[in-house]
Copies of this chain bind each other. A is one copy, B any other.
Amino acid sequence: MSEKITIYDIAKKLNITAATVSRALNNNPRISDTTRKLVMETAASMGYTQNKLALALKSGKSNLVGVIVPYIDTSFFASIIRGIEEALHPEGYNVIICQTHETEAKEIETVNTLLNAQVDGILMSLSKTSKETTHFEHILNKKIPLVFFDRRKNIKGVSSVTIDDFEGGYVATKHLIEQGCKTIAHLSGDWSLEIYKNRSEGYKQALLDHGLKYDEKYLLHVKSDTEAGKSAVDTLMKLDKKPDAIFSSSDFVALGAIQRLQELGIKLPDDFCVVGFSNEPFTQLMELSISSVDQAPHEMGRMAAKVFLDQVSGVGKVKIEQKVELTPHLISRKSSVKPVAKKKAK
């Protein structure tokens, strides 16, 4: 076995021309069955594999799609990428993975790298600090499809797949109200990210729709880890009127909050309810399983891929700007379902 077999090698062996080999391999109708068969067989026996690079260079289509995420090893983004890969692989696309580490500098660098690699499309989720837009215009100038998922920026001509974060915040809060909670605190993230802001607005609207007051004292902006959840509880418990529930925009924060609440001897869900966001794998594994809003990341990934495929296969190459918004679903678990309310719900 040799190293690199090209159609020329197999042409030479058969005393025919490379063009004929190419035709045989591509099931071109204008070729005799005997030749086709002969070519196929010798190609197989010589271990020929098509060089997609050459094909890509010629056709201008690399069948490569770039996916950019902050980190690949968070369950949310990993699931999205899985969805993307599974939707794109059957269509003959390969997926290139890039991480921004939540920095704009890496985001820009990465976009350029992918552009160099001649990807046929870029699917990405914004990094937290992203402010610039020139690198996006760069993409659009090259006429290659750009699809945002989860964290988006409103750019004309750019499609996006997100969940309805407002709705997510709304149903989570509504659920807590239905459990009989009267003073619902909210732990949010940095509002420079639309997703957090939208969840907060859903929270606010749910309160108002159900005759509860919206008081900014009960809204805290925190980091997305368990420690932040713990200190948030400490802060909240110093208020004159203590809350009896928390809607957190992060499961990790929710977990930290629950741990501190339990340390303080507060009984969940009887005296206090907590709902998180993202449906992280651990939420259902806990002894006191944590209610959470599921974002269907796998579905989001598949949808982002589909939006991309629609763009490239679009009739007349009409660039349709699709804004897909998936509906989040509340998963009720022990941390927020009171025994009483359980009966009431039936």
Total copies of this chain within the assembly: 2
In the complex, are the beta carbons of B47 and A53 less than 8 A apart?
no
* Cβ contacts A to B, 24 pairs, < 8 Å: A2-B141, A4-B60, A47-B138, A47-B141, A49-B112, A50-B116, A51-B57, A53-B53, A53-B57, A53-B62, A53-B118, A72-B81, A75-B75, A75-B78, A85-B98, A89-B98, A89-B99, A94-B98, A96-B97, A97-B97, A255-B285, A282-B282, A286-B287, A287-B287
In Å, the complex CA distance between A222 and B96 comes to: 35
A residues near B (Cβ < 8 Å) are 1-4, 47, 49-54, 56-57, 60, 62, 64, 71-75, 78-79, 81-82, 85-86, 89, 94-99, 112-118, 138, 141-143, 226, 255, 259, 262, 281-282, 285-288, 298
**Residues on the B chain within 8 Å of A298, using CB:** 73
Question: Given A53-B57, A56-B53, A97-B95, is A73 in contact with B79 using a C-beta cutoff of 8 Å?
Answer: yes
In the complex, are the beta carbons of B115 and A49 less than 8 A apart?
yes
In Å, the complex CA distance between A34 and B321 comes to: 44
**Residues on the B chain within 8 Å of A142, using CB:** 3-4, 49
In the complex, are the beta carbons of B72 and A99 less than 8 A apart?
no
In Å, the complex CA distance between A62 and B96 comes to: 13
Which of A2, A85, A262, A288 has its CB near the most chain B CB atoms (within 10 A)? A85
Question: Given A56-B53, A143-B3, A287-B287, is A82 in contact with B73 using a C-beta cutoff of 8 Å?
Answer: yes
